[in-house]
Chain A
Amino acid sequence: MVVTSDIYLPEESELTVPEVNLSGSTLYAGSFHLGKYCEHANNEFMLCRMEEQDPRKCINEGKAVTACTMEFFRKVKNTCLNEFNQYANCLDKSSGDYSFKFCRNTQGVYDKCMLEKMNIERPSFGYFTEVRVHDTKRPKPPVEPKAVYPDATPALPEDAEKKPSRFGSRFYWMTE
């Protein structure tokens, strides 16, 4: 394997946290409100993950994401369990890919409950597919500088004479 003994890998105990043990339909049913509730943790983790391109450096952010998700579903369980279960059941049984379009009635009931008891509104249409600006305290990883090679071909000097072309351009209809 390519993983040598020089490479730091976290211990198993460092990586063991209570995981979100929920099924697909449940996650889909809670997805929009979950994304809104845990927006900061999610953005922090995804920014770290995409900037560093290394799962080892974003473990704490990932733990925060999982903890936030657990907290959200616990709160839902305490407040809107019946409405949520009804919606998740509808998503599970109406289609093969958990489409939302067949479950607007149960979704309305669930949304109303979430708004009243947890004060989370369903995000606007396509909210999570849009670009969102995230402000973070984590420093940006250094960008690798452009490589300089000692034997590179020398470029023209700055003050070299540049004559106009003798026969015009091949793409004369575009450039002239």
Chain B
Amino acid sequence: MPEGDGSTLSGPPLYVLMSLATGPKHGHALMKDIAGFAEVRLGPGTLYGAISRLEDRGLIAALPADERRRPYEITPKGAAVLEASIVNLRRVVDVGVSRLGVMARPSSASRPLLRGELA
């Protein structure tokens, strides 16, 4: 958990941080990048809602506008929160995978029935 923050991110704010981890981007570039790696098209309102909340928390910072488009970059605090969020996600995924593994293995009581059905 990053010091002084006490939270991890998920959903659109996490996607925005992940996208900015590879370099500064403006809104349209963020939408395209997120659609590429997460296969999720964020609506413009959702995207800018996430951007404004992340900026409020100091996790991203606005750069000088390029013509009419304003790029954003991830801050060191944002990078720490992103790392903590990914670690947390990985832990949850590991639990999910292990539990799915248990569910996928037929119990000893059901094995004869399965064999019978296959025969």
Is A bound to B?
A: no
> Which residues of A are interface residues toward B (Cβ below 8 A)?
none
> Which residues of B are interface residues toward A (Cβ below 8 A)?
none
